[in-house]
Amino acid sequence: MRKRKKTWITSAHQGFVDENLHSNTLAAYELAAKKGADMIETDARMTKDGVLIVNHDEDVKGYDEFGNEVKFVISETDYSVIRSISLLKERVEENRIPTLKEALNLAYFRGMCINIDLKEGIKNAEEIAKLVVGMGMRGRCVYATNGAGAEAINLILSIDPQARFIDTKQNYTKEALKTVKDYPAKCYVYTGDFSDENIEEIRSSGCMLAAISLNEENAKEAFRHHPDMAEYPHTSDFEEIEAEVIK
């Protein structure tokens, strides 16, 4: 009898954190890699001077070199300013906001995929896709299109033909994706609702299934549906959870 083994993509949402470490940092991604994540999830935004960085919100809240609390709108601020901010008071270097290029570099050398949430929709999608390809990550990137739909997907595919995509079931219906060639092999629908009815709706779209926000309490229910991707918040120890699932 063959041993059970993991056949899904394990994605660490904003990496994995321990004490005094902020999520969506290179150190958090590194921890996720060491724990065996197949993919890191991150967020892309562009600074005033055209640098793609990773940050969930449209503004940055943190501390300057003197420990004072500061807040900057990313689109109105140069990267040199954002680069100097510490997301926590301690461990300034480990808790700084990295560029998307740095995140891609880490994923490349750790053998991981990367899920890039296009926080600004189609606006900077072309620049992001070109950076992904230029960093040798063709075919190792899943783009969260955030409602930008088939237009964004087809734009990115013209640059990165091996790209994959993820969004909600409302945005990834058969009708919405009808202009995307072979979309079932390219698109994931994500959900935290693991009811039979909801999963059947997702499967009927033809898209792959991404179970998100997994923890010790809901993982068993999620894996009952055999997800193609399992995503865990940066506070969930996916290594322990999945060892128990496989067991």
Q: pLDDT means per 10 residues in the chain (247 residues)?
A: 84 93 95 97 97 96 91 97 91 86 98 96 96 97 96 97 97 96 96 98 96 97 97 96 92
Q: What torsion do the CA atoms of 62, 68, 71, 77 make, to the nearest 10 degrees?
A: -100
Going through 28-153 in order, the beta strands assigned E by DSSP cover 39-46, 52-54, 59-63, 69-73, 113-118, 141-144
At residue 1, the pLDDT reads 60
At residue 44, the pLDDT reads 97
Distance between start and end Cα atoms, the chain: 14
At residue 97, the pLDDT reads 95
At residue 91, the pLDDT reads 62
d(CA 30, CA 14): 11
At residue 18, the pLDDT reads 87
DSSP assignment, residue 26? H
pTM here is: 0.95
- Cβ atoms of 129 and 163 closer than 8 Å: yes
* Among the listed residues 102, 101, 98, the one whose alpha carbon sits nearest the alpha carbon of residue 127: 101
At residue 74, the pLDDT reads 97
At residue 179, the pLDDT reads 97
